Amino acid sequence: MQPSAMANSIDQLRVAFIPVLAPGHMIPLMDIARIFARHGADVTFITTTGNAARFRRDVDGDSSSGYKIKLHALQLPSDEVGLPLGLESFSETTSREMTAKLYRALGLLENQIENFLLESGVDCIVSDTILGWTVDVATRLEIPRLVFQCAGYIALSIAHCISSHAPEDKVESDTEPFELPGLPNKIELTKLQIPNWVKTTNKMVAEIMERILVAQRRSFGILMNSFLELEADYKDYFETNCGMRTWPIGPVSSWVKEDNVDEDDGGLFSEVMDWLDLQQPNSVLYVGFGSMTVFPDEQLLEIAHALQDSDCRFIWVVRKRGEEGGEEDNGKRYLPEGFEERMKKEKKGLIMRKWAPQIKILNHPAVGGFMTQCGWNSTLESICAGQPVISWPLTAEQFYIEKLMTQVMRTAVPVGSRRWWDMNNPAALEIVKREQITKAITLVLGGGDEVEGMRERARELGRAAKTAVSPNGSSYNSLVALMDELKSVKLKKESSQR
């Protein structure tokens, strides 16, 4: 959409976006900010100085194209909370204490953000669900706050079901499956798969979660990175049972971009694409566990042996922290001796560190499967690319999301992960053995009716996702309706002040 297309009707709608400082939260919220700008809004994306740099090229490019979008960078008060200078992302924290300090530092920006919003005269705030204090800012400014949820409707629905019915109390064993009552599909979990914050007896953690939920209920509604063709039944369930309005506008990555290719990547992008071009269709497994996952050495070894034993071709994104929290060779020292060199020499695999053009890799015809931690962004990207998945949930709402893939969509093969993992405690990870991993790889890349059925279902959903964000698609229409409503709220406020 060209900047002039909607300029006459809604270009005066001024919207501020406030993300949580984690890549999996910031990137989709930036996508939404860019979508709003492309539909005529005047957009400001508020973040810290270090995080602003990663979005500068996208924002400058959109601004040069005539869209009204800009960054507002704030200095994180690191000294006040005892954080190392330059640590500005939850993906870089290495302990619960450090995570808490970063969360506290974000809260200390409240006054600065409120003063900026007041001076800017914004009409609406869109902020991450974790930033519950932003609803207080919105209330004082007499403007609506929209919540951004970075998980899907199924995760919200399962969370509500557990909170309302406590079905886990009906089983004695941690490993005995229990059914979640009242959901649109039959879904089973075990106690081991429920997030720690649900089961916590820590009063402070429970109070924080309650404040977030209360702030969500006080907000104007929720923006969802999802689409009706994927989760219509769970949208209806959540809205009916929780009484909140939602707008599904996803997959947001499909609206504005694919991957940003770093011009200074030393030719890495070209190397990856050239390697893929040499492979047979559906023959390569892409292995990536998101920006937050740092496996202990033992699990890295099991994955490496499984890739080797299955004799598959692969691209594997490895992250490994050094003991002091800095990156230390990203796991190279912890692979089997000679593994990386042997795989590269035999042209069987590539190991990448820190960054990979995930969307472009998943959409390459040589790729035939995706091993993922079931983060919501990666789940949507696998759907858009029509890829069958090896599901390996670890933390957050990932076990909930796995149920969508394995029990509802039926586009995934579970690797056998059984226990929710607190990533601040690497020793608590239940190691998945190479035999289980090899079995899942062989099934997904081996062909056959079962995997071809998964692939076709994924491709059908991928086609639906593209239609959803096209003009008159479900997500497109949802966005337009929301922006029209926000415009009406703004006009009513202005009329009452005359």
Same domain? For 294 and 235 the reply is no
Are the C-beta atoms of residues 125 and 45 closer than 8 Å to each other?
A: no
Same domain? For 275 and 139 the reply is no
Cα 192 from Cα 211, distance rounded (Å): 25
Asked, for residue 263, whether it belongs to a domain, the answer is no
Q: Which of 124, 35, 59 is nearest to 479 (CA)?
A: 35
Asked, for residue 117, whether it belongs to a domain, the answer is yes
At residue 89, the pLDDT reads 94
At residue 395, the pLDDT reads 94
Sign of CA dihedral 147, 150, 151, 153: positive
The residues with which 349 forms a beta bridge, in sequence order, are 314
Same domain? For 311 and 431 the reply is yes
Same domain? For 308 and 424 the reply is yes
Same domain? For 90 and 201 the reply is yes
Beta strands in 238-334, from DSSP E residues, in sequence order? 246-248, 284-287, 313-318
Asked, for residue 261, whether it belongs to a domain, the answer is no
Same domain? For 276 and 351 the reply is yes
188-189 and 178-179 beta bridge pairing: antiparallel
Query: Range of 310's domain?
Result: 268-465
Q: Is residue 128 annotated as part of the catalytic site, yes or no? A: yes
Name residue, tokens 């930036």.
30
Annotated catalytic residue, options 31, 58, 123, 128: 128
Same domain? For 449 and 479 the reply is no
The residues with which 350 forms a beta bridge, in sequence order, are 315
Asked, for residue 262, whether it belongs to a domain, the answer is no
Same domain? For 461 and 484 the reply is no
At residue 322, the pLDDT reads 47
Same domain? For 457 and 480 the reply is no
Are the C-beta atoms of residues 367 and 387 closer than 8 Å to each other?
A: yes
Asked, for residue 79, whether it belongs to a domain, the answer is yes
Asked, for residue 286, whether it belongs to a domain, the answer is yes
Asked, for residue 70, whether it belongs to a domain, the answer is yes
Same domain? For 229 and 203 the reply is yes
Same domain? For 283 and 249 the reply is no
pLDDT (tens digit, 0 to 9) for every residue of the chain, 498 residues total?
555 444 444 458 999 999 999 999 999 999 999 999 999 999 999 999 999 999 999 999 999 999 999 999 999 999 999 999 999 999 888 888 999 999 999 999 999 999 999 999 999 999 999 999 999 999 999 999 999 999 999 999 999 999 999 999 999 999 999 999 999 999 999 999 999 888 877 788 788 889 999 999 999 999 999 999 999 999 999 999 999 999 999 999 998 865 455 544 557 888 899 999 999 999 999 999 998 898 999 999 999 999 999 999 999 999 876 433 344 444 456 788 889 888 888 889 999 987 789 999 999 999 999 999 999 999 999 999 999 999 999 999 999 999 999 999 999 999 999 999 998 888 899 999 999 999 999 999 988 899 899 999 999 999 999 999 999 999 999 999 999 999 999 998 888 887
Instruction: Give the total number of structural domains in the chain.
Output: 2
Same domain? For 300 and 442 the reply is yes
Angle CA 433–395–134, to nearest 5: 165
Q: What is the CATH number of the domain that holds 249?
A: 3.40.50.2000
Residue 199 φ then ψ, to 5°: -90, -5
Cα 276 from Cα 361, distance rounded (Å): 8
At residue 38, what is the residue type? R
